[in-house]
Amino acid sequence: MQSTILVVLVVVTALAFDFTNGFHDTANVIASAISTRALSPRTAIALAAVLNFAGAFVSLKVAATVATGIIDPAKITEAVAFSGLIGAIIWNLITWYFGLPSSSSHALIGGVIGALLAAVGGSGVNWDGLIGKVVVPALIAPVLAFVVAGVSIVAVYAMLGRRRPGLVNRGFRLGQVLTSGMLALAHGTNDAQKTMGVITLALVAHGTISADHVYVPTWVVLCAASAIALGTYAGGWRIIRTVGTRIIRMDPAQAFAAQSAGASVILASSHFGYPLSSTHVISGAVMGAGAAKRLSAVRWGVAGNIAVAWVLTLPAAGLFGAAVYFLQQALGAGVLGPMLIWLVALALLASLILVRRTRFARAAQAS
């Protein structure tokens, strides 16, 4: 009975994480469409929400990597999955509050690995998988997006340099509806699957799914898709501001190139099962599109802050995951500990949302 209550708690927490993932970084994908006025904020967020939902159904390879390629599913318990999720949510909320577009994906992986290290030590982690499928792609992906966006915009400017800017801008604004949609679809494909992977791990720990034949149940896909879509619709304004305008101000052609580069990198990586950070990729693409035009156009200070958040995410979320695991053990083996931790996390989430809404309302009144 206790095990069942715990697994229900893990599923609810995972879906809450998925919600914060959407809340925290899904809006990155449409930030540049908003900054160039290709789409109104509400339309862009609604489009992103719908296509994130659809994207979650496109592939399950990333979920398989999270469930079986990075850690040993046989070593996972409900308590580890729960602690990892709470650790990731705490780190997500901290970076969201300070407006840093850090990676929700790496927070989730870091949280689960931190909790697993606290529970069973290094034997539960597939270090080769972690390096080969998470760390190396995490380093390559933003650079690749930077290069693809840079090459794209150089080619586009070479072709359209003598055209009237008005018509070119109108054309690329229209095109951004397509690339924003593609990027949102790509995000749903890659990000929603990580939550599916963690829920699947909890179901393996509970015995609902055999560790020998790990698969993602349809209801898990449906719930994860719904949670990330709702999270996307509910928030993301602070991060939109950072990625859309504070890294670089873009023209519609640059934004188009950045979005198509980001979508291509995320979709290609998802196809091969790499759990990438969409935040890393789109930030790299935005900087590439900016730097190709003029190096000084990129606000490297803001980009540096984002890079610091990237570096910190895996270890910081891991520390929070481990801390939550130890706290849970200190509170006892039953469901009381997880319930208390869950309520505290819920209170933290509610208070931060309240603070954000109050500030947003004040900003709206001031403008």
Partner 1 sequence: MTAAIIDTATLAKVVVYSLLAGVGISVLFAVGVSSAASVADALRDRRTAAGAAWVVVFVLSAVVVLGIVVLGIVVMSTK
**Footprint of partner 1 on this chain (CB under 8 A)?**
57-60, 128, 131-132, 136-137, 140, 144-145, 147-149, 151-153, 155-156, 159-160, 163-164, 167-168, 171-172, 175, 178-179, 182, 185, 189, 253, 256-257, 260-261, 263-265, 267-272, 274
**First-to-last C-alpha distance (Å) of the chain:** 54
Q: State which residue, 144 or 209, has the beta carbon closest to partner 1.
A: 144
Interior/surface letters 208-233, b for 16+ CB within 10 angstroms, e for the rest: ebebeebebeeebbebbbbbbbbbbb
Residue 75 has a CB neighbour count (10 Å cut-off) of: 17
Q: What is the smallest separation between the CB atom of 215 and partner 1, expressed in angstroms?
A: 11
Q: State which residue, 146 or 325, has the beta carbon closest to partner 1.
A: 146
Q: State which residue, 92 or 254, has the beta carbon closest to partner 1.
A: 254
Q: State which residue, 283 or 328, has the beta carbon closest to partner 1.
A: 283
For the chain, helix (H) and strand (E) counts, in that order, are 15, 0
SS3 readout for 59-126 = CCHHHHHHHHHCECHHHCCHHHHHHHHHHHHHHHHHHHHCCCCCCHHHHHHHHHHHHHHHHHHHHHEC
Q: What is the smallest separation between the CB atom of 121 and partner 1, expressed in angstroms?
A: 20
The encoded tokens of residue 9 equal: 């708690």
Q: How far apart (Å, rounded) are the C-alpha atoms in residues 324 and 337?
A: 10
Q: What is the smallest separation between the CB atom of 208 and partner 1, expressed in angstroms?
A: 22
Q: What is the smallest separation between the CB atom of 247 and partner 1, expressed in angstroms?
A: 19
Beta bridge mates, 125: 71
Q: State which residue, 41 or 217, has the beta carbon closest to partner 1.
A: 217
- Is 20 within 8 Å of 231 (Cβ atoms)? yes
Q: State which residue, 55 or 235, has the beta carbon closest to partner 1.
A: 55
The encoded tokens of residue 195 equal: 């939550």
Counting every residue written for the chain, the total comes to: 367
Interior/surface letters 111-149, b for 16+ CB within 10 angstroms, e for the rest: bbbbbbbbbbeeebbbeebbeebbeebbeebbebbbbbb
Q: What is the smallest separation between the CB atom of 290 and partner 1, expressed in angstroms?
A: 15
Q: What is the smallest separation between the CB atom of 4 and partner 1, expressed in angstroms?
A: 30
Q: How far apart (Å, rounded) are the C-alpha atoms in residues 255 and 257?
A: 5
Q: State which residue, 163 or 362, has the beta carbon closest to partner 1.
A: 163
Q: State which residue, 113 or 324, has the beta carbon closest to partner 1.
A: 113
Q: State which residue, 92 or 176, has the beta carbon closest to partner 1.
A: 176
Give the 3-state secondary structure of residue 271: helix
The encoded tokens of residue 276 equal: 């990438």
Q: How far apart (Å, rounded) are the C-alpha atoms in residues 183 and 29?
A: 6
Q: What is the smallest separation between the CB atom of 177 and partner 1, expressed in angstroms?
A: 12
Q: How far apart (Å, rounded) are the C-alpha atoms in residues 19 and 26?
A: 10
Q: What is the smallest separation between the CB atom of 276 and partner 1, expressed in angstroms?
A: 9
Q: What is the smallest separation between the CB atom of 45 and partner 1, expressed in angstroms?
A: 21
Q: State which residue, 235 or 252, has the beta carbon closest to partner 1.
A: 252
The encoded tokens of residue 349 equal: 């989430």
The encoded tokens of residue 335 equal: 């469901």
Q: What is the smallest separation between the CB atom of 267 and partner 1, expressed in angstroms?
A: 6
The encoded tokens of residue 333 equal: 């083996």
The encoded tokens of residue 107 equal: 């927070």
Q: How far apart (Å, rounded) are the C-alpha atoms in residues 125 and 113?
A: 7
